[in-house]
Chains A and B, each alone.
Chain A
């Protein structure tokens, strides 16, 4: 089983839709969690950190479920510009904070 797993998609949704992605992780010692966005042939860019209490940034909401070992990203009112690959990152500590990326979930928002 991979350390971090994501459904690769693609998720194909109309503008204005709400879409949610999940990411599961296998290492219960994982400490920090993030969502990154990567546009085609570009570098990943930090979208948001994921906190235990959940956090929201505009149309984006991130949740962490430690018991079930997954994180989620909810995008409301999808825009064409949201089309990208969304990468989840799980970081385990123990002194070295090794980040592990999922393979990413592709989102296509169409008119």
Chain B
């Protein structure tokens, strides 16, 4: 059983809308990262938070933003949704940077 939970599991939004995806990490995991995975591709790194501060960012525009909270939860916000944002969004946590990650089961976002 994964110790990382994500909500919602599925979501349909309209182009131009905003969305917030949520993740609850394992207790004690002070590092959380978010990924976008398109069909047939590997996960693409969006950003990482370490002790509530952004600690690294992939090649995603500023309309992708996030937060990490003291209770090991985090969220990914995407503004001005585009059709190409349709993908599986994965959250992963780790006890420390540089260690292996435990993934949540993901949120499948469809933008229409």
- Report which A residues bind B (CB closer than 8 A): 4, 6, 31-32, 34, 42-46, 49, 87, 91, 93, 95-104
Among A4, A45, A46, A91, contact of B98 (Cβ-Cβ < 8 Å): A91
Among A43, A93, A99, contact of B105 (Cβ-Cβ < 8 Å): A43
Q: How many residues on chain B are close to A (CB under 8 Å)?
A: 26
Chain B min CB distance to A108 (Å): 15
Among B2, B42, B58, contact of A98 (Cβ-Cβ < 8 Å): B58
Q: How far is the CA of A43 from the CA of B42 in the complex (A)?
A: 11
Chain A min CB distance to B25 (Å): 14
Instruction: Using CB atoms, name the residue of chain B closest to A46.
Output: B100
Q: Assess whether A99 is in contact with B102, with CB atoms less than 8 Å apart.
A: no
Chain B min CB distance to A27 (Å): 13
Among A6, A46, A96, contact of B101 (Cβ-Cβ < 8 Å): A46
Q: Assess whether A42 is in contact with B102, with CB atoms less than 8 Å apart.
A: no
Q: Cβ of B110 < 8 Å from any Cβ of A? A: no
Q: Assess whether B97 is in contact with A43, with CB atoms less than 8 Å apart.
A: no
Q: Which of A32, A34, A93, A96 has the most CB of B within 10 A?
A: A96
Q: Cβ of B106 < 8 Å from any Cβ of A? A: yes
Chain B min CB distance to A51 (Å): 12
Chain A min CB distance to B3 (Å): 12
